[in-house]
Amino acid sequence: MKKMMNAPENFVDEMLEGILAAHPDMLTTAGGDLRCIITEKGKRPGRVAITTGGGSGHLPVFLGYVGDGMIDGCSVGNVFASPSANQMLSITKAIDNGAGVLYIYGNYGGDIMNFDMAAEMADMDDIEVQQVIVADDVLSAPKGSEDKRRGIAGMFFAYKIAGAAANEIRSLDEVKAVTERALAGVRTVGVGLSPCIIPEKGKPGFTIGDDEMEIGMGIHGEPGIRREKMKSADEIVEEIMDKLLPDVPYESGDEVAVLVNGLGGTPLEELYIIYRKVNMVLKEKGIRVHRPYIGEFATSMEMAGMSITLMKLDDELKALLDAPAETPFFVQK
Amino acid sequence: MKKMMNAPENFVDEMLEGILAAHPDMLTTAGGDLRCIITEKGKRPGRVAITTGGGSGHLPVFLGYVGDGMIDGCSVGNVFASPSANQMLSITKAIDNGAGVLYIYGNYGGDIMNFDMAAEMADMDDIEVQQVIVADDVLSAPKGSEDKRRGIAGMFFAYKIAGAAANEIRSLDEVKAVTERALAGVRTVGVGLSPCIIPEKGKPGFTIGDDEMEIGMGIHGEPGIRREKMKSADEIVEEIMDKLLPDVPYESGDEVAVLVNGLGGTPLEELYIIYRKVNMVLKEKGIRVHRPYIGEFATSMEMAGMSITLMKLDDELKALLDAPAETPFFVQK
C-alpha cells in the first residue's frame, strides 16, 4: 500500500490535524472534537446555519467547503463511514445563529439515520432543523426512483447555492426551498478507472482491468451500470452526456453550470480534454455554459476517473452561484 | 495506457482548447496560436509584463498562473518538451506594456536556449527583456552548484512575487531583483512514488517497486538521490526537512511560506498528513508559517508523490505574497 501516512488508524485524525494547522483562520472544532469541524468566523446573527457530514476520503468534500459563503460545519467520519449523530448535534448547537440549521448531505443510509437522529435531538433543544438530501448520481437508480440515487459531486452545488442564500439572510424554509430547487436540476455521472485503498484495509476495494473503465461507479467504488473497454475521451463524454441531458431535460437556450470533477488520481490535463468535449456537446444543443468548474471537488482518494455534473440554471440560481465564497479548498471572487 | 484522451498526438492541443473554452474571460492566444497563451485582460500601461513557458504535463504549471496578479503569458510545449523561441517572442510582443518583459522559467537546457534566443530577437524589436531562472530542486545538485539545480514547484512563488511586484508598477530591474531575492530563499525537495506516462510514448518513463519511493525525483521522472523502501509520512517529512532547512539556512524566529505540492496522483488527504508534520518540524525550530499552500501546483501528470517547498520571508516578501491574485487555477483573496 503506497500511501504517505503514518499508522492507518490515525489517517483521519492526522489529516484533520493538518487541515486545522493549515487553516486556523478559517476552521476550528466544536468543543475541541477534531471530528466536528466548524467555521472559525463565529456566530452570524440571523443567518441560517448549514452543516454537512460524511465519511472521509473525499476531499474537498465534505469539510473543505466550511467557510465564507458556503457551509458552517461538518461532522467527519472514518474513511467511507458515517459520522455519529452526537457529532452532528454538537455542530448543530455550535453553529446555530438562532435562525435554524439546514442539514445537507448525501443519500446514504448511515448518514440519513444519524442526521435524522441529530435533528430529533436538536428539536429537543429547540433548534429548528431542516434537511436536504443530495441524490445526483443518475446511474445509481433509474428515472422514477430518484430518491434511491446516491449523492456525489453535486453536493458542491448544494453547498454553494444554500450558502449564498443563507448569506442573503433568507429564512430556513427559503434556503431549503431554493437548494432543493437547484438540486432538481443537478445530475452527475462518473466513470471509474482504478480502485482506491482504504488505509485500514490496506488493499483495493475492487479490481478493474488495465484497459477497462466502469461507467456509473460511485465514489466509494459502488458498481456502475457497465464495465467496458477504455474509450476515447470524446466517446466517454458522449456516453455520459447522453445519460445526463435527458434526465432533466434541457432545451436549446438553457444555461448550465458544469463541474468536471477529478476523482483523485486523474491529472488536470485529462479533465480539460474532457471539458473541451462537454462544451462542444452543450454548444451543439444550444445550451450555454454560464460557469465551469474543473478540478477536484469530490474525490475517492487516489481513484482515477472523473465525474461530470450539470446544474440547470435560472437567473436566481445564477446569482447565487456567482456570489463570492472562500473556504480552505475553494475560493471564488 | 489508461488516460482519458483522444489521439495521443492531440493531447496538448485538446487540453489547451479545453482550457480556453473554460476560461475565455481570463485567457486568450497571441496571434491565434493555441500554444501561445496570454492574459485576456489586455495591455496594462507601464506594468512590467511577465511570461513563462515550458513543457506540458505539469498543470497548473505553467500556463495556469496566467492571470491577474501573477504572469501575463506562457508558451506551451509538448509534454515534457520545451516550446520554441518563436512562441516566446510572439508572446513577448503581445504582452509588452512598454515597461519591458521578464522571463521566468525553470533551469532546463532547452528552455534556456529558447528563451535566450527569444530575448535576443525581442532586443532587435526594442523590447527590453530580463530573465530569472528558477532552480529550487535541492537534491538535483549539491550546495555550491546551485546553478545546476532544476526548477520545480518553487516556480509558483516566483510567479507570485514577480506578479505582485509588477502590479506595484516597479521597474523591470526592480521586479527582477525582488524575484531573485525571493528565489534565494526558495528550496524544494520531492519524493516520487509512481511513474507517469507520456501520451505519445504510451508506457511509463521508469519503473519503481510497489513498496519503493525515490527521494529527490524530478517532475519529469529524473532520478533522485536515493531509492528506498516506503517510509511513514512523518519519516518522509523529516528526511526532506533535513535537506531543505540547512540549505538556506534558517534561524529561530524566521518566517516561511510552505507549499506542499501533490504531483498529480496523490490525494489531498495525504498532503495534509504531510503538512501536519511539516508544521510540527518548523514549530520545533521556532520557524513560523506565514502562509501554507497545499494542493496541486506543479505536477507530473498522474505521478504519485509530492514535494515540499519552503520560501523564507521578510516583510516585503510577505506583502507581495499576500497580494490578491486570480488565475484559472489559483485564486487568493
What tens-digit pLDDT sequence spans chain A (333 residues)?
Answer: 789 999 999 999 999 999 999 999 999 999 999 999 999 988 899 999 999 999 999 999 999 999 999 999 999 999 999 999 999 999 999 999 999 999 999 999 999 999 999 999 999 999 999 999 999 999 999 999 999 999 999 999 999 999 999 999 999 999 999 999 999 999 999 999 999 999 999 999 889 999 999 999 999 989 999 999 999 999 999 999 999 999 999 999 999 999 999 999 999 999 999 999 999 999 999 999 999 999 999 999 999 999 999 999 999 999 999 999 999 999 999
Interchain pair A15, B233: CB under 8 A = no
Q: What count of other Cβ atoms lies within 10 Å of the Cβ of residue B315? A: 8
Parallel/antiparallel/unpaired status of strands B49-56 and B73-79 = parallel
Nearest residue, CB atoms, A306 vs list B4, B5, B276: B4
pLDDT of residue B138: 97
- A276: cell is 473541451
Distance in angstroms (rounded) separating the CA atoms of residues A254 and B139: 53
The closest of B297, B288, B301, B306 to B239, measured between CA atoms, is B306
* CA atoms of B99 and B162, how far apart (whole Å): 14
Question: Which one is catalytic: B47, B220, B277, B312?
Answer: B220
Look at B2 and A236 and tell me if their CB atoms are within 8 Å: no
User: Across chain A, which distance is largest between two alpha carbons, in Å?
Assistant: 55
Nearest CA among A41, A108, A36 for reference residue A70: A41
Chain B residues within 8 A of A56 when measuring between CB atoms: 269
Interface test with B, best of A1, A2, A4, A59 (most B CBs within 10 A): A4
Q: How many CB atoms lie within 10 A of CB A107?
A: 20
- Which of B222, B247, B251 has the alpha carbon at shortest distance from B106? B222
Integer Cα distance of A237 and A191 in angstroms: 10
Name chain A contacts of B195, Cβ cutoff 8 Å: none
pLDDT of residue B181: 98
Query: What per-residue confidence (pLDDT) applies to B201?
Result: 94
Q: What local confidence, expressed as pLDDT, does residue B251 receive?
A: 97
Of A4, A265, A296, the CB nearest to B306: A4
Cell numbers of B332, please?
A: 487568493
φ, ψ of residue A79 to 5 degrees: the values are: -60, 125
Q: Are strands A186-192 and A212-215 parallel, antiparallel or unpaired?
A: antiparallel
Residue among B23, B35, B47, B58 flagged as catalytic: B58
pLDDT tens-place values along chain B, 333 residues long: 789 999 999 999 999 999 999 999 999 999 999 999 999 988 899 999 999 999 999 999 999 999 999 999 999 999 999 999 999 999 999 999 999 999 999 999 999 999 999 999 999 999 999 999 999 999 999 999 999 999 999 999 999 999 999 999 999 999 999 999 999 999 999 999 999 999 999 999 889 999 999 999 999 989 999 999 999 999 999 999 999 999 999 999 999 999 999 999 999 999 999 999 999 999 999 999 999 999 999 999 999 999 999 999 999 999 999 999 999 999 999
Chain A contact set for B323 (CB, 8 A): none
Residue B143: its pLDDT value, please? Answer: 93
Q: How far apart are the first and last CA of chain B?
A: 39
If you measure CA to CA, which chain B residue comes closest to A11? B273
Alpha-carbon gap, residue A192 to A303, rounded angstroms: 7
Bridge partners for B37 per DSSP: B29, B74
Question: Which residues of A are less than 8 Å from B233 in CB distance?
Answer: 4-6, 14
Q: C-alpha grid cell for residue A70?
A: 458556503
Contact assignment for B21 to A276 by CB distance below 8 Å = yes
Quickly tell me which residue has 460557469 as its cell. Answer: A291
Q: Is B290 a catalytic residue?
A: no
Tell me the three-class secondary structure of B66-87, residue by residue: ECECCECEEEEEEECCCCCHHH
Return the residue matching grid coordinates 444554500.
A162
B60: cis peptide before it, omega within 30°?
Answer: yes
> How is A82-111 classified by DSSP, letter by letter?
---HHHHHHHHHHH--SS-EEEEEES-HHH
Would you call A194 and B2 a contact, using CB atoms and an 8 Å cutoff? yes
Closest chain B residue to A21, measured at CA: B276
* Contacts with A208 from chain B: Cβ below 8 Å: none
- Model pLDDT, residue A42: 86
CB contact under 8 A, A273 and B331: no
- CA-CA distance, B108 to B149, in Å (whole number)? 9
Q: What is the chain A residue with the closest CA to B194?
A: A2
Reading the block at residue B136, the C-alpha cell is: 529550487
Q: How far apart are CA B121 and CA B129, in angstroms?
A: 10
